[in-house]
Homo-oligomer: A and B are copies of this chain.
Amino acid sequence: MTEMSEDQVRADVRAWLAENWDPNLGLIEWRNRLADSGWGMPAWPSEWHGRGLPVGMAPVVEEEFQRIRAVGVARSGVRMLVAATLLEHGTEAHKAKFLRRILTGEDTWCQLFSEPGSGSDLAGLTTRAEQVGNQWVVNGQKVWSTSAHKADWGVLLARTDWDEPKHQGLSYFVIDMSQPGVEARPLRQMNGHASFNEVFMTDAAVPPDMLVGERGEGWAIATTTLMHERRNADSLRTWTTGVGGDERIYQEEAEEIATAMAPYTWYPQRAGRVDMVLDRARATGKLEDPVVRQEIAKLLIMSKSAEWTARRARAAQQLGRPQGPEGSLGKLASSHVARAAAHVHTLISGSDAMLAGADGPEDGIIAEILLSVPATSIAGGTDEIQRNIISERVLKMPKEHRVDTGRPFNEVRKNTVG
């Protein structure tokens, strides 16, 4: 592949779009054209629905799509993480079978990693995959899988070797979610939403060719996925800015977005909605209360300082400077901010803090904040885990004494759950 200039790329994509873009196409038909041409994922290899362009060219292509409001490939859920993993670790058969339908949105995927027992200790998982005859037979329970009840396929981490140390006995599979041995049940949260599923696998079957990578490489492969997850944490924002329009393809895209976003409606509330505080205080008259003013000020100082800290980290990164401590702190800071925000919202709402839904302040948003904020200090790594990471990796303090690594998993005390 020869190097192409930005102008050349721009000209190429523009020409192709002029030829092919039609908002009256069906969403899947259009995306098949993207997959055929490679313009949907320009940085992917040309043999797999891409054009083999440098990653830096992707924004150029995106700009041209946006200019004429052309729709891109499907991006919701874990599909992009799965695709990246399969591109890196999958067989040719995997790629042929799955990549196109990931891009078109025809197949939906879920991630089956966490278990009720695993919590902060993912590698301690105990879902079992055994070779029986010509198949893998899977038994176990997974949890925190978004949209598993609608998924066609799942990526599964299961223990295949119990005599290996905990990180070495895991394998990575693709599992067919439509089979009878797999049951996904919605898992309701304390705020009433059910954004996640529990997935029960009872003698579920996985054909041998659905093992990704080698047996025992599961942890290494899953770590790739998790790294993609971290890197793409912000992508939600990017792909949900559907442009909208009356034509068929925009209607179909809007529907797809609505479905994909449904589990996430409470996420902004989880962070505490600091943005609502001043308006709420003004509307309730509490902005005149010196005690409330102090609490608001403390919250705003903390929240703005956390934001500025994140920007310092990003600025250092963009300047290519060594990562300072400020980068590792965002998660922990957000817990403090969310908790303080819930406190301030309660202070502002007074008796109204007892009310939810249509009876509650801001049409129930305040109640949703109060009941969602506890997730911030847990989801994606508890505060306790963050403090471990910060003290060990940033402050270089001694690591916690481990009793669970370096010996056969069979001999390690297993994770339990309440």
A interface with B by C-beta (< 8 Å) = 289-291, 294, 401
Bound together, the chains give a CA A94 to CA B291 distance in angstroms of 64
Bound together, the chains give a CA A294 to CA B294 distance in angstroms of 11
Task: Enumerate chain B residues within 8 angstroms of A294, measured Cβ to Cβ.
Answer: 291
Bound together, the chains give a CA A294 to CA B295 distance in angstroms of 11
Q: List 6 A-B contacts (CB under 8 A).
A: A289-B290, A290-B290, A290-B291, A291-B291, A291-B294, A401-B401
Task: Enumerate chain B residues within 8 angstroms of A289, measured Cβ to Cβ.
Answer: 290
The residue on B at minimum CB distance from A289 is B290
Task: Enumerate chain B residues within 8 angstroms of A290, measured Cβ to Cβ.
Answer: 289-291
Bound together, the chains give a CA A401 to CA B289 distance in angstroms of 50
Task: Enumerate chain B residues within 8 angstroms of A401, measured Cβ to Cβ.
Answer: 401
Bound together, the chains give a CA A290 to CA B286 distance in angstroms of 14
Bound together, the chains give a CA A401 to CA B400 distance in angstroms of 11
Bound together, the chains give a CA A289 to CA B294 distance in angstroms of 12
Bound together, the chains give a CA A204 to CA B401 distance in angstroms of 42
Bound together, the chains give a CA A401 to CA B401 distance in angstroms of 9
CB distance from A346 to the nearest CB of B (A): 15
Bound together, the chains give a CA A289 to CA B289 distance in angstroms of 11
CB distance from A187 to the nearest CB of B (A): 29
Bound together, the chains give a CA A260 to CA B410 distance in angstroms of 64
The 4 closest A-B CB pairs, nearest first, are A290-B290, A291-B294, A290-B291, A291-B291
The residue on B at minimum CB distance from A403 is B401
Bound together, the chains give a CA A315 to CA B187 distance in angstroms of 48
Task: Enumerate chain B residues within 8 angstroms of A291, measured Cβ to Cβ.
Answer: 290-291, 294
The residue on B at minimum CB distance from A294 is B291
Bound together, the chains give a CA A358 to CA B291 distance in angstroms of 33
Bound together, the chains give a CA A91 to CA B166 distance in angstroms of 60
Bound together, the chains give a CA A56 to CA B47 distance in angstroms of 95
Bound together, the chains give a CA A290 to CA B290 distance in angstroms of 7
Bound together, the chains give a CA A273 to CA B34 distance in angstroms of 74
CB distance from A83 to the nearest CB of B (A): 44
CB distance from A265 to the nearest CB of B (A): 36
The residue on B at minimum CB distance from A293 is B291
